[in-house]
Structure 1
Amino acid sequence: MPPTRRAYLTTLGTAAAVGLAGCAGSSGAGETSHSCELSDRDPVAELPQPTRGDDDATVTVDLFEDFACPGCATFALEDFGQLVDEYAGEDVRFRRFDFLVVNSDWNEPVANAARSVQDALGDGAFFEFADAAYENQSDYSWQLIGDLAEGVDADPCRVLSDADGRTYEGVIQADQTEGESRGVPGTPAAFVDGQLLEGAASYERVSSAIDDAL
């Protein structure tokens, strides 16, 4: 039986404290073909949610995902693109939140890496990196994180430094707290105009709720 979400969050908080106090590269992030000399970057506490669609759109869809969640990979790779193509724009915006529920060594580093890409290159690059990460979910490694960063034209050494040093831990924890306060039961989860949809997020559930809201 997998650990409860509460137990995992306790572990996550402890790991974050250790990561912030430790030396960058201690986990092996510096031992890749990218030959990075990792740096300790200042923590970032605030960063907007990665968004598709206009900020002043009539309908807001909030998505809570975990980079180690297989269901999130399926939703991101099979459903989200279609939803964006059909709805994102002046009427609908999609916002993505990190909500770590899987007991994994990699969801937190990958989430930090994705936020590093977003911070440096914007939301488009974030979603490009996220899709590539989900496509390689079973093969996460420090080498892969650097390769994926390079694949979206991000600096792999900066991204590896941020992933290893948990630079965006405050941002991710803020998302986590937001999800807890909203009663997110698991991932992928979707809210349409603040209303939690029943069941895991899917094209059918989200599109139907958007149609009802428009």
Structure 2
Amino acid sequence: MSKGRRDRTVKAREIIAQQKAAERRRKVTLWTSVAVVLVLFVAGLVGYSVMSRQNAGKLVTPASAVDDGTAFALGTGPVTVDVYEDFMCPACGNFESASGEKLQNLAEAGTITLRIHPVSILDRFSNGTEYSTRSAAAAAAAAEAGKFLEFHNVLYENQPEENSDGLTNEKIIELAKSVGLTSETFVNAVNEGTYETWATQATEKFSDRYTGTPTIVVNGVQLTGPDDTVPTTDLLTQTIEKAAG
């Protein structure tokens, strides 16, 4: 083999070796970039998860809440009627069916100030899903969107049975849409549990004074029927009329 040919062969081998080395460097750079992107993606997911948990545990009191941040008011009448209720509570559902519309009409007419206190004393009856807390927190989010009463009513119209899983967040959001609650802020509040710590605190305040739901209080005095039963609509109406003078 001539010297010129040998030189060309050596040169060609060097070029091939350089190309292979460049290809290896390119692959290393590519996979390093992919690994970095994956690490950042996972870190972002972890960070979001941690932030969501931190937000869920943070006390956020609804700006629209009254009575030491525990209730949502309807009307501005001279007689104050406080109703403490749990969205999982069958007795609360029965009370709403019997007297809810009457109280709402009295509030609209300016006869009473109706203050509804969502509480969560029945989480133990929703198979670990904490429906009472989630629904109370969702009601707070609805109040912030100016749709408390509409959302309150649609939850009772679709009240789950005690000892069931309750409604999922997806179902809560679906029902909210049916009454015009469609904002991303509301959806995020439900999914992230923005007001769940508030619901727990409001329940603790309730438990310091009363036991059982529904609890009805007229001008600061608890109202019960015979043998500590839930007051009837007639008894409730009579008590309100007497308080109004």
Q: TM-score w.r.t. structure 1 length?
A: 0.70
1:212 aligns with 2:242: yes
- Paired residue for 1:69? 89
> Separation in 2 of the partners of 1:59 and 1:94?
8
1:97 aligns with 2:124: no
1:133 aligns with 2:158: no
Say which of 187, 193, 211 aligns to 2:219.
Answer: 193
Letter in 2 for 1:178: K
> Separation in 2 of the partners of 1:87 and 1:154?
23
Q: Does the residue aligned with 2:80 lie in a helix, a strand or coil?
A: strand
- State the Cα distance separating 1:63 from its structure 2 match: 0.4
Contact kept, 8 Å, 2:91 with 2:214, in 1: the verdict is yes
Query: Once superposed, what is the RMSD of the aligned Cα atoms?
Result: 2.6
**CA pair 63-161 structure 1, distance change in 2 beyond 3 A:** same
How many aligned positions are there? 174
- Paired residue for 2:24? none
- Paired residue for 2:12? none
- Residues 96-115 of structure 1: matches in 2 within 5 Å? 96-102=116-122, 103=124, 104=126, 105=129, 106-115=131-140
> Separation in 2 of the partners of 1:202 and 1:166?
35
> Separation in 1 of the partners of 2:232 and 2:201?
24
- Paired residue for 1:51? 73
Contact kept, 8 Å, 2:73 with 2:114, in 1: the verdict is yes
Contact kept, 8 Å, 1:88 with 1:94, in 2: the verdict is no
Q: Name the structure with the higher helix share.
A: 2
Q: Does the residue aligned with 2:230 lie in a helix, a strand or coil?
A: coil
Contact kept, 8 Å, 1:67 with 1:133, in 2: the verdict is yes
Q: Does the residue aligned with 1:62 lie in a helix, a strand or coil?
A: strand
> Separation in 2 of the partners of 1:189 and 1:206?
12
Contact kept, 8 Å, 1:46 with 1:170, in 2: the verdict is no
Contact kept, 8 Å, 1:52 with 1:89, in 2: the verdict is no
> Separation in 1 of the partners of 2:234 and 2:205?
25
Rg (Cα) greater in structure:
2
> Separation in 2 of the partners of 1:191 and 1:78?
17
Higher relative CO (Cα under 8 Å, sequence separation at least 6) belongs to 1
- State the Cα distance separating 1:22 from its structure 2 match: 5.6
1:60 aligns with 2:80: yes
Q: Determine what percentage of the aligned residue pairs are the same residue.
A: 25
Q: TM-score w.r.t. structure 2 length?
A: 0.62
